[in-house]
Chains A and B, each alone.
Chain A
Amino acid sequence: MSHQLPAILFLLPLFAAISMPVVCLKHRHWSLPISVAILAAMVLVSILNLYNVIHHGEVRYVFSGWTAPLGIEWVADGLASVIMVLLSALGLLGVVFAGPTSPKALGGRLAHYYTLILLLISALTGIVFSGDLFNLFVFLEVAAISSYALVGVAGGRALFAAFRYLILGTLGASFYLLGVSYLYAVTGTLNMADLAERLPFLLNSRAVVGGLLFIFIGLGIKMALVPFHAWMPEAYTHAPDSISPILAPLLTKVVLLAWVRIVFWVLNVSIAIYDIPILLLVAVLGTLAAVIGASLALAQRNIKMMFAYGGISHIGIILIGIGQGNQTGFVGGVFYLLNDAVMQAALFYIAGFAFFQYGIRTIDDLGRVGKKAPWLTGSLVVVALGMIGLPPTGGFFGKWYIILGALEAGDYISVAAVVLSTLLTLAYFVKLFESIFRQTSTQPDVQFGKIPLSFKLTLGVTSTAIIILGLFSAPIVQLLLNHALPPGL
């Protein structure tokens, strides 16, 4: 039974998504409790799966019983299983948050909205587990198409952002597919494990080099790496407030995971293309993203826009860790990815909460509520500590391992980039807090409504998780070191 767990993880949200329009045809308000129940089940199954993988080794699941190079293979190794727990937990919280904040414009299409959310989560599960380049593309597209629809669901300005995202996202997917077809033409296989055996002998082939380049550009667009990040802040800012906390922590991070899988599992770590080590490329791109993303965040007045640019800079920091080519850096990068996903979710919960409860969209509005909003200010303080990277939050330990890894590799430019990006992060949070604590309000005290339970729950859980990830960083890092390292590192 336990070998079925990866497939069950994928099928749970998929079945729920496709049966949602039929089940909720008459009672459209059932869609929220059903989604919550399904995602709660997913959290349980993913924890079981992680336990199983830790104790019995990785699971290779072949659909319809055809074995690996011929059939479609899913690989549930340590890394995928850890990310899966994160994905299902954040999906559950995201749906809990989505309840009261779903756009009013939906009306009778509420069931379809939850269908799209569940479809997005099942596609992300597929990206995490897929052991096959072409299936990765299929799941990338399913995830992308459902997120285009979810971004544009509220209409108005969001439609423009969604269209722009659609154009760039399709471009990214096409580049990826083109690259995969080059590799297929040369090697005749799409299975990652099989490719990993054949590619090292073929690196002089221009088709392989071109194909890899296309794959990297395609995935770079999908994960909003700096030269290709134009779609991301617009899409996350104008998406409904209930959707951005699901998209922001999961979409780019899961694509980054797919990239890591291709760089470390399909290609070898020490590979050089035309004398340029591939990991150097990763680290340089990460350095650029870390600094540029944080500087752009500093220039924003809209809260969601600022957080979205913060996410771009943190993708860069993760890449710096992963690109060092040693165990400390890799584990630091993955650990920071976990933390960053939780922090991004928390940031967008805060942004959504601030708008729904207090009508706040920009930094200047923050002064209106000031100290009268303990939940808002409290959770913002915790997330700020995590984003800046102060102990005892998880963000500190993530950055610590990344810097240790960079020092081990002697890459001082990366160390400087991490420190600089931290300082810039500090700067934009100082800007936020300055606005909160400088009471600009000249109006008489306004009474705000009671805070709904789902807001308290999501803000509370994510803030606690940021601190718990820090307090228990040692066992988590040990787990990653034991089970999530790529071969040959």
Chain B
Amino acid sequence: MIRPHDSIIVQTLGRFLIPVVQIFGLHVLFFGQYGPGGGFVGGVILGMGMILSVLIFGHDNTRSQIAKKVLHADGVGMLIFAGVGGLCMIGGGEFLNYANLEIPGLETASRRSLGIVLTQIGVAVDVAVTAVSIVFSLSAEEIIEDSING
């Protein structure tokens, strides 16, 4: 159980910072093809945004609901990754050979670009979910006690 932080400075700054962090995370994720960044880093930053909102506004605040919902997306990122790879295999290439990504109406170059973006989104989702779930499992005493008592 994480209670809201009681300092007004932290609360106000959090309200400003969290959206900026989220947008920066998305920027790093989508511009990873052209500059430094990519799925892992983007995912970490997005996850940090959610963790920050949990730490500042507490477990039960409406602002933390996204972080709680995200926990159910465990494995979805891997499924996106696997789906893109599978589409490439259906197109006749190797796993993750984006040139064979089976989406009609696209040239090879845009197929590669799209394939990389999609896999990076998959990676980012998984990294963010993992980061958030680590924080929750460290904080939730009742869940851990349940698992010990069987």
Q: Which residues of A approach B to under 8 Å, CB–CB?
A: 4, 7-8, 11, 14-15, 18-19, 21-22, 61-65, 105, 107, 155
Contacts and interface: CB of A to CB of B under 8 A. Distances in A.
B85 interface: yes
Given A7-B95, A22-B75, A65-B99, 4 more contacts: A4-B94, A11-B82, A14-B82, A19-B79
Contacts, number: 46
A155 B145 CA distance: 12
B97 A64 contact: yes
Contacts of B82: 11, 14-15, 18
A19 B75 contact: yes
B94 A65 contact: yes
A125 B84 CA distance: 21
Give 6 closest A-B pairs by Cβ, nearest first. Answer: A65-B97, A64-B96, A105-B150, A18-B75, A18-B78, A7-B95
Contacts of B97: 63-65
Interface string B55-89: 00000000000000000001110110010011011
A64 B81 CA distance: 13
B40 interface: no
Given A4-B89, A155-B148, A61 B94 contact: yes
Nearest to A108: B146
> Which of B75, B85, B93, B94 has the most C-beta atoms of chain A within 10 angstroms of its own C-beta?
B94
B150 A7 contact: no
A21 B73 CA distance: 10
A183 B93 CA distance: 32
A62 B94 contact: yes
B150 A21 contact: no
A107 B150 CA distance: 8
Specify the main secondary structure of chain A where it touches its partner: helix
A14 B150 CA distance: 28
Contacts of A105: 150
Contacts of B148: 155
A304 to B, nearest CB: 22
Contacts of B150: 105, 107, 155
B98 interface: yes
B89 A7 contact: yes
Contact of A22 (B76, B93, B94, B98): B76
Given A63-B94, A63-B96, A64-B96, A18 B79 contact: yes
Contacts of B75: 18-19, 21-22
Nearest to A159: B148
A64 B98 contact: yes
A18 B79 CA distance: 7
B87 to A, nearest CB: 13
Most buried by A among B75, B97, B148: B75
Nearest to B81: A18
**Most chain-B CB neighbours within 10 Å: which of A7, A61, A65?**
A65
25 contacts: A4-B89, A4-B95, A7-B89, A7-B95, A8-B89, A11-B82, A11-B85, A11-B86, A15-B79, A18-B75, A18-B79, A18-B82, A19-B75, A21-B75, A22-B76, A63-B95, A63-B96, A64-B88, A64-B96, A64-B97, A65-B93, A105-B150, A107-B150, A155-B148, A155-B150
Nearest to B115: A64
Contacts of A15: 79, 82, 86
Nearest to A109: B147
A8 B86 CA distance: 9
A64 B95 contact: yes
A1 B56 CA distance: 53
Nearest to B126: A18
Nearest to A8: B89
A7 B92 CA distance: 13
A64 B85 CA distance: 9
Interface in B93-114: 93-99
Contacts of B79: 15, 18-19, 22
A38 B150 CA distance: 29
A61 B74 CA distance: 29
A127 B89 CA distance: 22
Given A7-B89, A11-B82, A11-B86, A21 B94 contact: no
B43 to A, nearest CB: 16
A440 B85 CA distance: 61
A22 to B, nearest CB: 6
Nearest to A4: B89
